[in-house]
């Protein structure tokens, strides 16, 4: 299973370092990724992705980017914050509109 992790190291300024590890079942030591290479490609040429991650590995990457302090550019916060806001609004509606007489 491939794992990609992001690390922000203070002495590198505003840069995020990505590390890749592939632990193959029954294999030791694990494999690490090195030197991503770019090659020229003609305009309009078809090409595949350079990496194929399982969903849980992609989630680990997102989580590690979050730990580095990165947040989505679009959107209005986390699902947890949105759920808490909804609960608060529900509580306020009960306070205002419920007849206690």
Give the model's confidence band at 91: pLDDT under 50 very low, under 70 low, under 90 confident, else very high. Answer: confident
Q: Which tokens belong to 74?
A: 């679009």
State residue 80's pLDDT score: 66
Domain ranges of the chain: 2-37+52-96
Instruction: Give the pTM.
Output: 0.63
Predicted confidence band at 78 (pLDDT cuts at 50, 70, 90)?
Answer: low
- Residues 14-24 have pLDDT tens digits of 789 999 998 87
Residues 6+ apart with CB under 8 A from 67: 6
């Amino acid at each position: 299973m491939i794992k990609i992790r992001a690390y922000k190291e203070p002495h590198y300024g505003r840069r995020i370092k990505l590390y890749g590890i592939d632990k193959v079942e029954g294999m030791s030591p694990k494999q690490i990724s090195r030197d991503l290479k770019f090659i020229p490609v003609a305009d309009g040429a078809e090409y595949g992705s350079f990496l194929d991650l399982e969903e849980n590995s992609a989630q680990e990457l997102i989580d590690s980017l979050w730990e580095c302090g990165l947040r989505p550019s679009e959107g209005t916060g986390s699902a947890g914050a949105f759920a808490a806001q909804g609960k608060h609004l529900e509580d306020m509606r009960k306070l205002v509109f419920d007849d206690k007489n």
